[in-house]
Structure 1
Amino acid sequence: MKDQMITTRKIHTYIDGEVIEKVDTVVTEFPLTIVLNGHEFATMVCTPAFLKEMVIGFLASEGVIRLFKRDIASITIDEDKGFAYVETTTKIEQTIQEHTKRFIGSCCGKSRQSFYFQNDVKTAKSSMTKRTISYEQCINLMEQLQSSSSTFQATGGVHNAAICSPEGMIVSRTDIGRHNALDKLYGHCLMNEIHVQDKILVFSGRISSEILLKAAKIGVGILLSKSAPTELALQAAEDLNITTAGFIRGNRVNVYTHPERIVL
């Protein structure tokens, strides 16, 4: 798996007035086109690992499927040609046609109007979890996420994400794309029927509105990040009843929304 995700090349490095030649490690990049029921649906640029999980998670987050075993008739990955062929149990031509349409709608019944993809409104779920986690556990989970990624340590060029309990990581995934890492987690949970409503999503990147909506589609109620959030993401988190915490570095944790789930 490691050989798929990284490669090496000769580079020239300038250090203290001297140029030296050395071998460096870089992350690989791979285009994958999803063919859905015979139609080209989307092309994703990703890290070539756990591709089936990523495709399943992406289709679920786009509202194409809901359950892996019920909705997927077959899925075949052709890595040599860069295609993923997916057949669903029911025909969904309307979903394919509406994939890129936007509409203006209220978020979760609130009065503020925002732009959302149509599938976002259909698939983003308000959290009802009663799960709590301590500040110390937030810090420990972030440390586990960062130390577990050998690809990040070797290249510095990927995002890391994990589904966790308060005690530790359940499954982690890595990708050059922030969304891809989350789709791989979502696909893994769907394929293995892992219930995530009481789980925690730990993420290495910035909490944008797209990442927040992706977390809502997965179904988690607590999102932890090493980085910063955006205001639109926090507005969506308030509406969707999701706890967000960022800048988890060293002994620091900033809690932005629904702080009642993070306790001393």
Structure 2
Amino acid sequence: MTEPLSSIKSIVKYNKNKFTMLYDEVAIEFPLTIYINQEEFATMVCSPRDLEEMVIGFLASEGVIRFKKEIKQLTLDPDRGFAYVELYTKEIKNQQYFSKRFIGSCCGKSRQFYFQNDVRTAKTSMITSTITAEQCIHLMKKMQETSLVFINTGGVHNAALCTSNELIVSRSDIGRHNALDKLYGYSLLNGIPVKDKVLVFSGRISSEIITKAAKIGVGIVLSKSAPTDLAIQLAEDLNITAVGFIRGSSFNIYSKPERIILE
């Protein structure tokens, strides 16, 4: 059974000096605590779907694992909000880099300022592939059109892993980084190489998003929103093309513009 991503709530709407009782569809917020080898590792606030992908993608982006085959068993208990991961190794590599922590769904500060494993796991992009300007616009439009939960609630972020021509997989979540972890987990579970792929994203490009993109291994990030100055600096350092404000028939290229070409 597929878990719902939204629920119906009664609200009071104000419009033109009048209050009206209505019902509205809102995004569900779900806490998930991850245990690794019976030790509590992290609690994430997320949308309650594609949890296996998210857990695997999160562990890979944090440097706990590199491949799916390192996981002996992954058990989900969605009713209680737990994910139990058993690794073949009994000891987490570089465990001093990790600490039990709460990972929220809001924007927040980039974790790169706090966790040394980001430095270890973020990869400088070496791709030489390009994408046309029209393809950038097409991929953004396609991603937004496929997210019914966003259309209905406006309360989630969308992310998609794409070729230059089409969407491979798209995921939605209340947390920006959770949506990216789900894509990463999907690619690991299905053996999809990501170096030549494009990451399409609905939210603001923060330094955290660029760090996540580097951990996944993509070299082009497309967003309908704005980047931060630190994200642009980080994108330059990691050789990632960052494109923002993809709206209508225009966009801005903030780093490594040589990968975006005309027809």
TM-score (norm 1): 0.92
Shift of 1:96: 4.0
Could you tell me whether the CA contact under 8 Å between 1:100 and 1:117 is conserved in 2?
no
Equivalent residue for 1:242?
240
Equivalent residue for 2:153?
155
Equivalent residue for 1:146?
144
Cα gap change, 1:80 to 1:96, in 2 (>3 Å): farther
AA matched with 2:53: E
Equivalent residue for 2:221?
223
Stretch moving more, 58-67 or 126-135: 126-135
Equivalent residue for 2:212?
214
1:65 aligns with 2:53: no
Could you tell me whether the CA contact under 8 Å between 1:126 and 1:216 is conserved in 2?
yes
Deviations 1:1-34 (A, max 9, x none): 7761010011111111221111110111110000
Matches within 5 A, 1:115-130: 115=113, 117-130=115-128
Equivalent residue for 2:165?
167
| Structure 1 CA distance for aligned equivalents of residues 239 and 114 of structure 2 | 17
| Structure 2 CA distance for aligned equivalents of residues 94 and 68 of structure 1 | 16
Percent of matched pairs sharing the same residue: 61
SS at match of 2:54: helix
AA matched with 1:75: L
1:192 aligns with 2:199: no
AA matched with 1:156: G
Could you tell me whether the CA contact under 8 Å between 1:41 and 1:96 is conserved in 2?
no
Equivalent residue for 1:24?
24
AA matched with 2:171: R
AA matched with 1:98: Y
Cα gap change, 1:22 to 1:77, in 2 (>3 Å): same
Gap runs ≥5 in structure 1: 102-113
Shift of 1:116: 6.0
AA matched with 2:249: N
AA matched with 1:78: D
Equivalent residue for 1:201?
199
Shift of 1:145: 1.0
| Structure 2 CA distance for aligned equivalents of residues 161 and 65 of structure 1 | 22
Deviations 1:174-199 (A, max 9, x none): 00000000000000000111001000
Equivalent residue for 2:75?
76
Deviations 1:28-53 (A, max 9, x none): 11100000111000000000000000
Could you tell me whether the CA contact under 8 Å between 1:68 and 1:191 is conserved in 2?
yes
| Structure 2 CA distance for aligned equivalents of residues 75 and 32 of structure 1 | 14
| Structure 2 CA distance for aligned equivalents of residues 32 and 13 of structure 1 | 32
Could you tell me whether the CA contact under 8 Å between 1:203 and 1:225 is conserved in 2?
yes
| Structure 1 CA distance for aligned equivalents of residues 148 and 81 of structure 2 | 25
Q: Alignment RMSD, CA only?
A: 1.5
| Structure 1 CA distance for aligned equivalents of residues 145 and 205 of structure 2 | 20
Shift of 1:142: 0.6
Cα gap change, 1:256 to 1:171, in 2 (>3 Å): same
AA matched with 2:167: M
AA matched with 2:81: G
